[in-house]
């Protein structure tokens, strides 16, 4: 249905080479990599207490008899019991669930599972089509009665779950229960829809036997299979009206974007969660979802007290919040459990949309969005954080369907957030037909743009096409004044509070921005020559799928952002240094070779250079192309990322020069200075093979030309070696380790104890009665990690002198 094909490349052919090959073919319009994304942070889920909470609001008129309903505070919070006075759902509405699959045998889900008409009933031989192992409806899947497993390509979408903290989480089954656990059946819980149809699609590749950090994986080709399946069934007459996608990843895949856009044109509402990282996704959309799709509603998290806790937010890209704390729902095997997360806020909105469609199957996409967005409650914690500034209220949404005086609101405002294209038109859709002249007079941008308006025939939406390309370095703000009128002469409700307050209270405002030009690997900025300096920024950058070098910073609790550069070494076998000196945030710098972001080889890297957190690397280059990446280990807005200056210049290889060692001798614990040509990135200083406990750079003229090192207790006389990632350098001169001072004390038992701060066995203790005739003591010392001790028995001659000297060769 979509025209895309998944190609497995032959061995020896890289992804970049394969893409280039297919793009040369006349029959191919576009080729792209099949991007894979490890779900290093799967949707947040916290097992929580099963506690009973008092209902909020008025006494509900409809109460189901499900025994656990008293613990489903979320349904009362959003007014579901009021909505049920109008409808409790419909078997004519299909909700597609993109997740880990669904346990379609669960007693509280089975009656509400979608049944594929083409795989239902008996075949010509009298066998049940659901189990006859035949693709009865010729859609490419065998026995796809309830949906598909897009990972394996089978017609069995049974929930396989994923591992977390030693337990298996059956995410999709839980989500399905929030949407449509059978209501009023005296069993378990109820979904927001007592009756509905749930189409199950397994889109998450999860290896239950693998490391949990790598077992979960999203793959573009898998997601595309699921979208294509839904689109195909929709065009076969299956009434799919809502897609619930708690995973919410698209990974820059043009193919997946086209699939979503196609379903949007089919009138399908797509609901996704925004996860829980306390991020403003207007500025920093780490999970690569698509805010610029008209059919999309993005959902944040709220708890029992209408607080967002750690939920992501976005004034221009997140639409509303919904309860996601302490939610009880279905578990495979007929069980139930309680958990928290935006993963369970998302299906509540998906289910609410299905409930509204049960009451009004004729609702257009914009009318459906208007009912959900124009009816929210607006707790203080959400104001200014989301488009509506509010939390779902399905009871009020249901009432709005029959309201005669509904307010005009904005239901789509695009582009929003990041990933804007320079030729993007500004797109606005309203819940009602508008007075065109009034809206155009109320419309403005900052900075100002001139352009043309293109209105829809029914005047409920328009495109504003700027006359010039948008400036990629500019952040734009769009405003529609609250004085804008609909065709009945009523003013715009720009703040979604169901009041007409005029400007400025009802002004509708949002912004959009472009990503940093070299945020993605394919857009790497070209650096020229053997030396130079260029400014850049990592602020609001993000991790691109396939950037494996950067993924480890997730494990360290950061949200890494990257920018990329391309550079060709002007001279073969020469040494060069790349330097981020002066950066005010924690950086990481790497030099790579390769052809694509997912097959790079790191040949040099630097972290925490010197005494600060900026980075510097030196390496020996060959005449080839290099990719340089600057990484903000924690790319969140604020002082953890920002502007930097990247310098590069020729440098000598690691080595010594001039007065190599000063002073040329010393006792353990003394500090010496080493002078050379380049000690960048030094990781160790060895005295006769024994590592110094501490050393520090003494940079000068952009180079680490000096090191200050402390002579270790176990140091041996001889040449000194400096260890760097780019090769070791050893002095031609030798360092003489001198004996340290001896200390002596008399123990209470009559023994004599000698102590010195060195651990080498090349020192010997000698005794003399007259300072002329010295004899080595034969007693073995006790050698510790930092010092040595020699204890003499009480029978030893207590008079005389002691000294420590180097053992003769």
CATH number at residue 460: 2.60.40.3710
Please give the helix or strand (H or E) that residue 171 lies within, else none: helix 171-180
Residue 493 structure tokens:
């409700």
By the 8 A CB rule, do 48 and 340 touch?
yes
By the 8 A CB rule, do 697 and 722 touch?
no
Q: What pLDDT score was predicted for residue 694?
A: 86
Mean pLDDT to the nearest integer, 205-223:
60
Q: What pLDDT score was predicted for residue 709?
A: 92
Is 88 in the same domain as 166?
yes
Q: What pLDDT score was predicted for residue 18?
A: 73
Is 418 in the same domain as 380?
no
Is the pLDDT at 350 greater than 50, yes or no? yes
Mean of pLDDT over the chain = 85
- Evaluate whether residue 670 is within a structural domain: yes
Is the pLDDT at 39 greater than 80, yes or no? no
- Evaluate whether residue 3 is within a structural domain: no
Is 481 in the same domain as 616?
no
**pLDDT grade, residue 639 (50/70/90)?**
very low
Count of domains forming the chain = 5
**What percent of the chain is modeled with pLDDT above 90?**
51
Mean pLDDT to the nearest integer, 302-321:
92
- Which of 384, 663, 599 has the alpha carbon at shortest distance from 496? 384
More confident residue, 772 or 678: 772
| 114-142 pLDDT, tens digit each | 999 999 999 999 999 999 999 999 999 99
- Evaluate whether residue 212 is within a structural domain: yes
Is 506 in the same domain as 525?
no
Mean pLDDT to the nearest integer, 218-239:
89
- Evaluate whether residue 5 is within a structural domain: no
Mean pLDDT to the nearest integer, 586-615:
81
Q: What angle do CA 585, 591, 592 make, to 5 degrees?
A: 130
Is 597 in the same domain as 698?
no
Q: What pLDDT score was predicted for residue 638?
A: 44
| 154-192 pLDDT, tens digit each | 999 999 888 777 788 899 999 999 999 999 999 999 999
Is the pLDDT at 395 greater than 70, yes or no? yes
Q: How far out from the chain centre does Cα 804 lie?
A: 61
Q: What pLDDT score was predicted for residue 471?
A: 85
What Rg, from alpha-carbon coordinates, does the chain have? Answer: 34
Provide the CATH number for the domain around residue 713.
Answer: 2.60.40.10
Q: Which of 255-259, 262-266, 506-510, 555-559 is least confident?
A: 555-559
Q: What pLDDT score was predicted for residue 622?
A: 83
Q: Which residues contact 20 (CB under 8 A, 6 or more apart)?
A: none
Q: How far is CA 802 from CA 651, 714, 747, 755, 784, in A?
A: 51, 21, 17, 11, 21
**pLDDT grade, residue 45 (50/70/90)?**
very low
- Evaluate whether residue 152 is within a structural domain: yes
| 502-540 pLDDT, tens digit each | 889 999 999 988 778 888 888 899 999 999 999 998 877
Is 675 in the same domain as 603?
no
Is the pLDDT at 798 greater than 50, yes or no? yes
Is 558 in the same domain as 675?
no
Mean pLDDT to the nearest integer, 735-757:
88
| 603-614 pLDDT, tens digit each | 888 776 655 667
More confident residue, 6 or 394: 394
**What percent of the chain is modeled with pLDDT above 70?**
86
Provide the CATH number for the domain around residue 569.
Answer: 2.60.120.1050
| Residue in the structure block whose two tokens are 């097992």 | 47
Domain C-terminal end among 514, 545, 570: 514
More confident residue, 373 or 809: 373
By the 8 A CB rule, do 444 and 503 touch?
no
**Counting every residue, how long is the chain?**
809
Q: What pLDDT score was predicted for residue 250?
A: 47
- Evaluate whether residue 2 is within a structural domain: no
Q: What pLDDT score was predicted for residue 562?
A: 86
- Evaluate whether residue 9 is within a structural domain: no
Mean pLDDT to the nearest integer, 44-70:
55
Query: How much helix, strand and coil, in percent to the nearest 5, is found in the chain?
Result: 15, 30, 55
Is the pLDDT at 799 greater than 50, yes or no? yes
Q: Residue 789 sits in which domain range?
A: 743-806
Q: What pLDDT score was predicted for residue 665?
A: 94
Q: Which of 82-86, 99-103, 396-400, 745-749 is least confident?
A: 745-749
* pTM (two decimals): 0.73
For residues 783 and 789, what is the distance between their CA atoms, to the nearest angstrom? 6
Is 397 in the same domain as 537?
no
**pLDDT grade, residue 440 (50/70/90)?**
very high
More confident residue, 51 or 573: 573
Domain C-terminal end among 351, 367, 402: 402
Is 300 in the same domain as 339?
yes
Is 408 in the same domain as 392?
no
* Prior bond of 663 cis (ω within 30°): yes
More confident residue, 597 or 232: 232
Q: 612-645 b/e with 16+ CB inside 10 Å = b?
A: ebbbbbbbbbeeeebbbbbbbbbbbeeebbbebe
Q: What pLDDT score was predicted for residue 270?
A: 94
Q: How many CA atoms lie within 13 A of 593 on its CB side?
A: 10
For residues 269 and 244, what is the distance between their CA atoms, to the nearest angstrom? 9
| Residue in the structure block whose two tokens are 């591992």 | 163
Q: What pLDDT score was predicted for residue 50?
A: 28
User: What is the biggest distance separating any 2 CA atoms in the chain, rounded to whole angstroms?
Assistant: 117
Q: Which residues contact 783 (CB under 8 A, 6 or more apart)?
A: 759, 761
Residue 59 φ then ψ, to 5°: -65, 125
Is the pLDDT at 92 greater than 90, yes or no? yes
Q: What pLDDT score was predicted for residue 214?
A: 46
**pLDDT grade, residue 337 (50/70/90)?**
very high
Provide the CATH number for the domain around residue 322.
Answer: 3.40.50.200
Is 206 in the same domain as 103?
yes
Is the pLDDT at 623 greater than 60, yes or no? yes
Q: What pLDDT score was predicted for residue 95?
A: 98
Is the pLDDT at 403 greater than 90, yes or no? no
Tally of CB atoms within 10 A around 649: 16
**pLDDT grade, residue 679 (50/70/90)?**
confident
| 754-795 pLDDT, tens digit each | 898 988 778 889 889 888 999 888 888 888 888 889 888 877
- Evaluate whether residue 785 is within a structural domain: yes
Q: Which of 225-239, 390-404, 415-429 is least confident?
A: 415-429
Is the pLDDT at 14 greater than 90, yes or no? no
Q: What pLDDT score was predicted for residue 73?
A: 96
Is 409 in the same domain as 395?
no
For residues 656 and 79, what is the distance between their CA atoms, to the nearest angstrom? 77
DSSP state of 310: T
Domain C-terminal end among 598, 613, 648: 648
More confident residue, 234 or 651: 234
């Amino acid at each position: 249905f979509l025209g895309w094909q998944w190609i497995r490349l032959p061995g020896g052919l890289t992804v970049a080479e394969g893409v280039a090959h297919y793009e040369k073919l006349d029959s191919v319009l576009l080729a792209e990599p099949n991007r894979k994304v490890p779900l290093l942070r799967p949707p947040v889920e916290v097992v929580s207490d099963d506690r009973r909470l008092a209902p909020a609001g008025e006494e509900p008129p409809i109460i189901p008899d499900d025994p656990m309903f008293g613990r489903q505070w979320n349904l009362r919070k959003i007014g579901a019991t009021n909505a049920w006075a109008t409808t409790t759902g419909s078997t004519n509405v299909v909700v597609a669930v993109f997740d880990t699959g669904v346990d379609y045998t669960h007693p509280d889900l089975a009656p509400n599972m979608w049944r594929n008409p083409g795989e239902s009933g008996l075949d010509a031989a009298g066998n049940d089509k659901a189990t006859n192992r035949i693709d009865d409806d010729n859609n490419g899947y065998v026995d796809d009665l309830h949906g598909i497993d897009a990972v394996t390509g089978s017609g069995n979408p049974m929930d396989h779950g994923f591992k977390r903290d030693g337990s298996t989480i059956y995410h999709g089954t839980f989500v399905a229960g929030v949407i449509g656990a059978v209501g009023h059946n005296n069993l378990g819980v109820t979904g927001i829809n007592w009756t509905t149809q749930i189409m199950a699609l397994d889109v998450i590749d999860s290896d239950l036997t693998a490391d949990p950090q790598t077992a979960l994986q999203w793959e573009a080709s898998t997601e595309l299979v699921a979208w294509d399946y839904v689109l195909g069934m929709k065009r076969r007459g299956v009434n799919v009206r809502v897609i619930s996608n708690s995973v919410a990843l698209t990974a820059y895949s043009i193919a997946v974007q086209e699939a979503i856009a196609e379903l949007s044109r089919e009138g399908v509402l797509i609901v996704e969660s925004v996860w829980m990282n306390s991020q403003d996704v207007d500025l920093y959309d780490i999970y690569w979802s698509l805010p610029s799709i008209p059919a999309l509603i993005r959902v944040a998290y709220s708890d029992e007290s209408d607080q967002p806790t750690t939920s992501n937010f976005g004034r221009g890209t997140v639409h509303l919040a919904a309860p996601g704390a302490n939610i009880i729902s279905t578990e495979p095997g007929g069980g139930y459990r309680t958990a928290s997360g935006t993963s369970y806020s998302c299906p509540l909105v998906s289910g609410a949309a299905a409930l509204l469609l049960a009451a009004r199957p004729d609702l257009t996409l914009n009318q459906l969005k208007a009912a959900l967005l124009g009816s929210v409650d607006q707790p203080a914690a959400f104001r200014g954080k989301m488009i509506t500034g509010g939390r779902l209220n399905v009871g009020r949404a249901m009432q709005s369907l029959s309201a005669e005086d509904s307010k005009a609101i904005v239901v789509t405002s695009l582009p929003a957030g990041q990933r804007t294209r320079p030729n993007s038109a500004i797109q606005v859709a309203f819940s009602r037909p508008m007075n065109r002249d009034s809206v155009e007079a109320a419309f403005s941008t900052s900075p100002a743009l001139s352009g043309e308006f293109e209105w829809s025939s029914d005047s409920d939406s328009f495109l504003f096409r700027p006359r010039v390309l948008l400036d990629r370095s500019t952040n734009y703000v769009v405003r529609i004044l609250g004085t804008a009128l609909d065709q009945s002469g009523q003013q715009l409700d720009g703040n979604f509070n169901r009041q007409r307050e005029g400007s400025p209270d009802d002004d509708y405002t949002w912004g959009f921005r472009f990503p940093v030009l070299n945020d993605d690997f394919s857009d790497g900025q070209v650096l020229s020559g053997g030396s130079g300096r260029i400014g850049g920024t990592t602020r609001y950058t993000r991790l691109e799928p396939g950037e494996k070098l950067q993924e480890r910073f997730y494990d360290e609790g950061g949200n890494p952002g990257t920018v990329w550069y391309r550079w060709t070494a002007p001279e073969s076998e020469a040494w060069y240094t790349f330097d981020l000196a002066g950066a005010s945030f924690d950086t990481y710098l790497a030099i790579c070779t390769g052809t694509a972001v997912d097959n790079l080889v790191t040949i040099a890297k630097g972290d925490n250079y010197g005494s600060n957190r900026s980075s510097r690397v030196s390496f020996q280059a060959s005449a080839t192309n290099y990719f340089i990446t600057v990484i903000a280990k924690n790319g969140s807005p604020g002082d953890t990322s920002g502007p930097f200056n990247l310098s590069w210049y020729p440098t000598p290889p690691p080595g010594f020069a001039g007065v190599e060692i000063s002073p040329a001798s010393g006792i353990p614990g003394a500090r010496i200075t080493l002078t050379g040509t380049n000690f960048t990135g030094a990781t160790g200083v060895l005295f006769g093979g024994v590592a110094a406990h501490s050393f520090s750079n003494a940079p000068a003229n952009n180079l680490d030309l000096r090191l200050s090192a402390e002579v270790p207790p176990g140091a041996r006389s001889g040449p000194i070696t400096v260890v760097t990632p780019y090769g070791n350098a050893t002095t031609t001169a030798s360092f003489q380790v001198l004996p340290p001072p001896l200390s002596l004390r008399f123990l209470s038992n009559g023994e004599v104890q000698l102590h010195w701060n060195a651990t080498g066995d090349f020192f010997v203790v000698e005794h003399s009665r007259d300072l002329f005739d010295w004899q080595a003591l034969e007693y073995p010392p006790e050698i510790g990690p930092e010092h040595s001790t020699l204890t003499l028995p009480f029978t030893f001659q207590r008079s005389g002198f002691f000294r420590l000297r180097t053992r003769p060769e």
